[in-house]
Amino acid sequence: MAALFLTGLSLLPDTAFGQEIPSLKDTFRNDFGIGTALNMAQIEEKDPQMTAFIVRQFNMATPENIMKSGLIHPKWDTYAFEPADKLVEFGKKHNIRINGHTLIWHSQLPPFVRGIQSRDSVRAFFTNHIKTVAGRYAGKVFSWDVVNEALNEDGTMRKTVFLQHLGEDYVTEAFRLTQQAAPNTELYYNDYNNEQPAKRAGCIALVKKIQAAGVRIDGVGIQGHWHVGRVPLKDIEESILQYAALGLKVMITELDIEVLPRNFQGAEVSRQMAANAESNPYPDGLPDAVQQQLAADYQALFRLFLKHKDKITRVTFWGVNDGLSWLNNWPVRGRTNYPLLFDRKNQPKPAFYKVVSLK
């Protein structure tokens, strides 16, 4: 309080910190953790109101970008640990568990990986990267998305630099190396659309392979990038049941609900759509009918999560508020999107109240 007083922040009304709003993490305290993706400005606590808001609403966090290999491992022998170290400090200070995201992903790779041609060099990068990064944060992050998005929509393995040079076992190998480097850290496989039957089957096969090799995997993350009015509740429920039947924890790891026009599902970051007159329909606010549908969708989702709270350990939103969502810039740049529970001023939307009213 003293520090707040000295900086004059105590003169701000309570509303500025969101203290009068119910807290998601408290509301679901006995059910599952509530997480958010964090960007660099938030990790660096640039805005004290934002920090207070995050700390009040969330008890888990995933770095939106800073732990991806391209950022944390920019050159063969160079690591940029400072942002991730700050994130760990942020978590410690505010009692927020950190999920490391992500060790092995084909996207946002360091530029030097593109120049690697030989199997031995890919293996060296793969091994060094996991050992160094997972080792440094052992005991400091709660969990890792060890491998992210290794599957195609039909459940086959995605053709990545890792598959090409290391073969199908690279996923098991990644878990083995992470387990060695960070024996007390939870280890997850994370993907989008892996609630869809074909991709789910591929995901289950992947998990079984890891387990059959005697390697530890603790959970599966269903990212949860869904569309308003089309949230696949049945597939999600079936997936929760099937993943849990493998002895795994289930997490919703990147939740948001797209409200703008898009002609494909998922989160394939390389896909783009051309901007046209119809692609940004709500620059000045979300029409009430869409707002209500969004609220109903979020409520139905959380009703389902609560039904399976014995299997779900965490629900993480991909961003704190609508203004910070990646969906404002993908698959079309510069749109005005509304995919989360809080608006651009961190004010709760109707969807927020529908969600907390379930308790």
Tokens of 45: 């606590």
Q: Please give the backbone phi and psi of residue 304, each rounded to the nearest 5 degrees, phi first.
A: -65, -45
267 binds ligand 9MR (CB under 6 A): yes
- Angle subtended at Cα 41 by Cα 40 and Cα 42, rounded to the nearest 5 degrees: 90
Whether 254 is a known active-site residue: answer yes
Question: Smallest distance from the beta carbon of 270 to ligand 9MR, in angstroms?
Answer: 9
Return the residue of 269, 300, 304, 306 that touches ligand 9MR, per CB under 6 A. Answer: 269
Cβ of residue 328: shortest distance to ligand 9MR, in angstroms? 10
Is residue 65 within the footprint of ligand 9MR (CB under 6 A)? Answer: yes
Which is nearer to ligand 9MR, 188 or 326 (by Cβ)? 326
CB atoms within 10 A of CB 81: 16
> Is residue 232 a contact partner of residue 200, using CB atoms and an 8 Å limit?
no
**Toward ligand 9MR, which CB reaches closer, 80 or 269?**
269
Which is closer to ligand 9MR, CB of 100 or CB of 155?
100
Q: In the complex with ligand 9MR, which residue's Cβ is closer, 7 or 108?
A: 108
Nearest distance from C-beta of residue 340 to ligand 9MR, angstroms? 12
Among candidate residues 173, 195, 254, 258, the one labeled active-site is 254
Contacts to ligand 9MR from residues 23-62, by CB under 6 A: none
Which single residue is written with the structure tokens 């269903």?
222
Angle, vertex CA 289, rays to CA 286 and CA 294, nearest 5: 75
Closer Cβ to ligand 9MR, 9 or 161, answer by number = 161
**168 is an active site residue:** no
In contact, 231 and 193? CB cutoff 8 Å: no
Q: How far is the CB of 64 from ligand 9MR (least distance, A)?
A: 5
Burial of 80 (0-12, 13-18, 19+ CB in 10 A): middle
Q: Residue 62 belongs to what H/E stretch?
A: strand 60-63
122 is a contact residue toward ligand 9MR (CB under 6 A) = no
Instruction: Find the DSSP H helices in the chain.
Output: 2-6, 24-27, 40-43, 48-57, 69-72, 82-94, 111-115, 119-136, 161-166, 170-181, 197-212, 233-245, 288-307, 350-356
In the list 28, 226, 326, 342, the residue contacting ligand 9MR (rule: CB under 6 A) is 326
In 3D, which of 179, 157, 271 has the Cα closest to residue 225?
271
Among 23, 27, 107, 292, binds ligand 9MR (CB under 6 A): 107
Residues labelled as active-site residues:
149, 254
Which residues contact ligand 9MR by CB under 6 A? 64-65, 107-108, 148, 192, 223, 254, 267, 269, 326
